[in-house]
Structure 1
Amino acid sequence: MRIDAHQHFWRIDRGDYGWLTPALGALYRDFGPDDLQPLLAAHGIEGTILVQAAPTSAETGYLLRLAETHGFIKGVVGWVDFESSDAPADIARLARNPALVGLRPMIQDIPDPDWMLRPNLTPAFEAMIAHDLTFDALTLPRHLPPLRRLLARHPDLRAVIDHASKPRIGKGVARDWADNIAALARDTQAYCKMSGLVTEAPAPWAVEGLRPFVDHLYATFGAARLVWGSDWPVCTLAAPYREWWDATQHLLGRAGGDEDAAILGGNAMRAYRLEEKGRSL
């Protein structure tokens, strides 16, 4: 099964997307299932992981309702207030919905790079482990060392690094990003998403400009822990869905169909436990 492991929907009138303003141009409109389904069909993609875009429980409820009525949504990565004393109970309640496969605090927007290591968050992480949920790490390069410490503290926490932690593409492969991402691959069982790269590249982006970053991810995480995603519709700031899909074909194709199939779907099924949650059909 081909799976787009990172896509978003939003409806502006819901009012909780603080980052989504008219300054973002073409992104400042509603995006829903009817917009995405033709793109999935054109590329033979059978399922997606729908990821939160607002730090509210209300948006998570909205996404879960979409998953109930659209079978191609194989899982939802939602949001919970990790700092709340009610976080464990909130996680337990949400986890009763089999469509919920993970949670994502919006770490990239939090000023303190060590926020994830705060002791008061431990009950939330322990609840995620108890309820078999995946932690989507929305990080920047400066967050990679604390993320490695977090996963050492919670070795049973299944984690996926979003957008390869947003390396600064266009300035060459920075040593700190390369070393820290390699350390995470070596010392943890985290997966890493090959997504969001075109919007981190300076315009006009080119496939060959992305290749050193993808090569490093492949060399460190290997075909067994790389996960493909589109980051649609955010990717359209730099490229239509088709162009990122075509770029992916050039960037992969290394050791044969089995490895590509893992990156384009099989690894997402494992990272989000889709078969165990009955979400793979």
Structure 2
Amino acid sequence: MEPLIDTHVHVWDLTGGPYGVTYPWLTPDFGALHATHTLDQVLPDMAGLGVTGMVLVQASDSLAETDELLRVAATSPLPTAVVGWLPLADAAAAERELARRPDPRLVGARHLIHDEPDPRWMLEPPVAVGMAMLERHGLVFDAVAERPDLLTQVPQVARRHPRLTIVVDHLGKPPVTAPWRSEAADEWRRNVADAAGWPNIYGKVSGLGTISRGPWHVSQWRPYLEHALEAVGAERLMLGSDWPVCTQNGDYPSVMGALLELLEELSPAERQAIRAGTAARVYGVGDGAARSP
């Protein structure tokens, strides 16, 4: 069976768990999502689809959650890397906190940039120093660039930090509910093409079911994958379920199964890259998930 790495998995414990993690954005308005979601709940579905590795991704701007994700990763039966949180707006503090967490499973950092009051947070000078720290340590930056204005900033970060690997989560949230020939889709295509010009920018094919906001069919997603393939290339794309967020509009087998269906028409080399090859290179899943000293 071909390797398959799920590069976007969340877990959270609404009791706070051993580190007292809180999720301010996760309110009762989210319905069933507003509940504890553990790795044990999704592992059977992962096994059913042949998942061979995963990346746990932060959902709280807190060091407590970074510690919680590392704790969960240490107990995972699959090779597991962690994209946690570090205080990137204070590079000295981020450096200290990274030194306190020498676990090689910590391979990257993410910040909920879409929730920041400052819409240009990624471009602020103190954050630039924090990004340089990530660059120096060989850590990945996952960008939650889910608005057009955020997606347009990613190439600026890439230009400023050419050795920093940047992964755009959820393909920048393409407008899959809009007509393919629409102003919104045109804007997304332009932004993806601009980002594709920087070789240190990668993309996750993830979150598409949630964006669909209702009954969906894989055919809705195909033109967006095709554009990403043409612009970015399979060697810079990877798959992610976005579990448990994806359960707002589907379940793990249906959403991840649909993504795998999208790959069936690709060449073996393209399919292998998106299933696992890109993720193995970017996150080190399966080869020790080691980071530079």
Please, what TM-score do these two structures have when normalized by structure 1?
A: 0.94
1:221 counterpart residue number: 232
- SS, match of residue 64 in structure 2: helix
1:158 counterpart residue number: 165
- SS, match of residue 187 in structure 1: coil
The code of the aligned residue for 2:246 comes to C
Task: Determine the C-alpha separation between the residues in 2 that align with 1:144 and 1:245.
Answer: 24
Task: Determine the C-alpha separation between the residues in 1 that align with 2:53 and 2:44.
Answer: 12
1:168 counterpart residue number: 175
Is the 2:206–2:241 contact (alpha carbons within 8 Å) kept by the matching residues of 1?
A: yes
User: What does 1:85-100 correspond to in 2, within 5 Å?
Assistant: 85-94=92-101, 96-100=102-106
Shift in Å at residue 262 of structure 1?
1.3
Residue 131 (1) aligns with residue 143 (2): no
1:147 counterpart residue number: 154
Q: Give the one of 41, 49, 55 matched to 1:49.
A: 55
Please, what TM-score do these two structures have when normalized by structure 2?
A: 0.90
2:271 counterpart residue number: 260
Task: Determine the C-alpha separation between the residues in 1 that align with 2:73 and 2:213.
Answer: 34
> Could you list the per-position Cα deviations for residues 21-69 of structure 1 after superposition, in whole angstroms to 9, with x for gaps in the alignment?
2221111211112101101110110111000111110011011011112
**Superposition RMSD in Å:** 1.7
Q: Percent identity?
A: 39
Task: Determine the C-alpha separation between the residues in 1 that align with 2:103 and 2:229.
Answer: 34
User: What does 1:15-94 correspond to in 2, within 5 Å?
Assistant: 16-84=22-90, 85-94=92-101
Decide which moves more: 158-167 or 122-131: 122-131
Point out where structure 1 has 5 or more consecutive residues left out of the alignment: none
The code of the aligned residue for 1:90 comes to E
Residue 277 (1) aligns with residue 277 (2): no
Point out where structure 2 has 5 or more consecutive residues left out of the alignment: none
2:211 counterpart residue number: 200
Residue 209 (1) aligns with residue 209 (2): no
Is the 1:102–1:135 contact (alpha carbons within 8 Å) kept by the matching residues of 2?
A: yes
Is the 1:87–1:123 contact (alpha carbons within 8 Å) kept by the matching residues of 2?
A: no
Shift in Å at residue 11 of structure 1?
0.1
Task: Determine the C-alpha separation between the residues in 2 that align with 1:219 and 1:27.
Answer: 34
1:183/1:224 CA distance change after superposition, 3 Å: same
